Structure 1
Amino acid sequence: MGCCDAPGLMPIEDALDKMLSRISPIQTTLQLPLADALGYVLAEDVLSPIFVPPFDNSAMDGYAIKLADLERSNILPLAGKSFAGLPFEGEWPAGTCIRIMTGAKIPEGCDAVIMQENTAVTDLGIEIKQENIKPQNNIRPTGDDIKQGDIVLEKGVKLTPRDIPMIASLGFSHLNVIAKPKVAFFSTGDELKSLGETLEDGQIYDSNRYGIKPLIEGFGCEAIDLGIIPDCQDTLRATFEKAQKMADVVVTSGGVSVGEADYTKDILEELGEIGFWKLAIKPGKPFAFGALDDAWFCGLPGNPVSAILTMYVLVQPMLAKLAGHTHWQAPESIPAITKTAFKKGPGRTDYQRGIYAIKDGQFEVESTGNQSSGAFRSMSLANCFVVIERDRGNVQVGETVQIQQFNSTLY
Structure 2
Amino acid sequence: MPKAAPGCDEFDPNAKTLEQARAAILEACQAITQKEQIPLEEAVGRTLAQPIHARIDVPPAAVSAMDGYALQAADATEGATLTMVGTSAAGHPWDATLKAGQCVRILTGAVVPAGAEVVIMQEQVERDGNSITLQNGGLSAGHNIRNAGSDTASGSPLYAIGQPIGAAEIGVLASQGIARVSVLRRPRVAFFSTGDELIPIDQPLGPGHIHDSNRHTLRALLQSYPVEALDYGVIRDTDAAVCEALTRAGAEADLIITTGGVSVGDADHVTRVLESSGQVNFWKLAIKPGRPLAFGHFGQAHFFGLPGNPVAVITTFGLLVRPALQQLAGRDATAPQTLNARLLEDLQKTPGRADFQRAILETDDRGWVVRTSGGQNSHQLRAMSEANAYVVLPRESTGARAGDWVEVLPFREIFPEV
Tell me the TM-score normalized by structure 1.
0.96
Rate the CA distance shift 1:137–1:361 in 2: closer, same or farther, 3 A.
farther
Rate the CA distance shift 1:189–1:132 in 2: closer, same or farther, 3 A.
same
Task: Give the conservation status (yes or no) of the 8 Å contact 2:71–2:98.
Answer: no
Partner of 2:390: 385
C-alpha distance after superposition, 1:69-103 (max 9, x if no partner): 24596121111011111111124232111000001
Rate the CA distance shift 1:73–1:397 in 2: closer, same or farther, 3 A.
closer
Q: How does 1:309-320 map to 2 (within 5 A)?
A: 309-320=315-326
Rate the CA distance shift 1:2–1:156 in 2: closer, same or farther, 3 A.
farther
Cα distance in 1 between the residues matched to 2:356 and 2:405? 15
Partner of 1:347: 352
1:289 pairs with 2:295: yes
Partner of 1:188: 194
Cα distance in 1 between the residues matched to 2:361 and 2:227? 30
Aligned partner of 1:141 among 134, 141, 147: 147
1:229 pairs with 2:235: yes
Q: Which structure 2 residue ranges, 5 or more long, are not aligned? A: 1-5
2:66 aligns to what SS in structure 1?
A: coil
Segment drifting more, 316-325 vs 119-128 = 119-128
Task: Give the conservation status (yes or no) of the 8 Å contact 2:259–2:313.
Answer: yes
Tell me the CA shift for residue 258 of structure 1: 2.3
C-alpha distance after superposition, 1:182-210 (max 9, x if no partner): 00000001111111111112111111111
Tell me the CA shift for residue 249 of structure 1: 0.9
Tell me the CA shift for residue 361 of structure 1: 6.4
Task: Give the conservation status (yes or no) of the 8 Å contact 1:114–1:137.
Answer: yes
Aligned partner of 2:374 among 369, 386, 398: 369
Aligned partner of 1:64 among 66, 70, 79: 70
C-alpha distance after superposition, 1:144-165 (max 9, x if no partner): 1222233222211221223211
Cα distance in 1 between the residues matched to 2:280 and 2:67? 67
Task: Give the conservation status (yes or no) of the 8 Å contact 2:190–2:232.
Answer: yes
Segment drifting more, 65-74 vs 279-288 = 65-74
Partner of 1:112: 118
Rate the CA distance shift 1:62–1:124 in 2: closer, same or farther, 3 A.
closer
Cα distance in 1 between the residues matched to 2:287 and 2:279? 22
Partner of 1:409: 416
> Quick one: which amino acid aligns to residue 390 of structure 2?
F
Partner of 2:310: 304
C-alpha distance after superposition, 1:298-327 (max 9, x if no partner): 00000001011111100110111111113x
Q: How does 1:47-62 map to 2 (within 5 A)?
A: 47-62=53-68
Segment drifting more, 100-109 vs 156-165 = 156-165
Cα distance in 1 between the residues matched to 2:371 and 2:267? 38
Q: Which structure 1 residue ranges, 5 or more long, are not aligned? A: none
Task: Give the conservation status (yes or no) of the 8 Å contact 1:341–1:367.
Answer: no
Task: Give the conservation status (yes or no) of the 8 Å contact 1:283–1:373.
Answer: yes
1:200 pairs with 2:206: yes
Partner of 2:181: 175
> Quick one: which amino acid aligns to residue 308 of structure 1?
I
Percent of residue pairs identical? 39
1:122 pairs with 2:136: no
Segment drifting more, 94-103 vs 355-364 = 355-364
Task: Give the conservation status (yes or no) of the 8 Å contact 2:29–2:327.
Answer: yes
Partner of 1:214: 220
Rate the CA distance shift 1:203–1:86 in 2: closer, same or farther, 3 A.
same
2:347 aligns to what SS in structure 1?
A: coil
Cα distance in 1 between the residues matched to 2:260 and 2:77? 82
Cα distance in 1 between the residues matched to 2:127 and 2:280? 81
Aligned partner of 1:396 among 386, 392, 401: 401
- Paired residues in the alignment total 410
Segment drifting more, 119-128 vs 175-184 = 119-128
Cα distance in 2 between the residues matched to 1:72 and 1:324? 58
Partner of 1:13: 19
Cα distance in 2 between the residues matched to 1:379 and 1:151? 44
Cα distance in 1 between the residues matched to 2:290 and 2:222? 18
Tell me the CA shift for residue 341 of structure 1: 2.2
Cα distance in 2 between the residues matched to 1:366 and 1:10? 28
1:89 pairs with 2:103: no
> Quick one: which amino acid aligns to residue 151 of structure 1?
P
Cα distance in 2 between the residues matched to 1:107 and 1:57? 9
1:126 aligns to what SS in structure 2?
A: strand
Partner of 2:3: none
1:356 pairs with 2:364: no
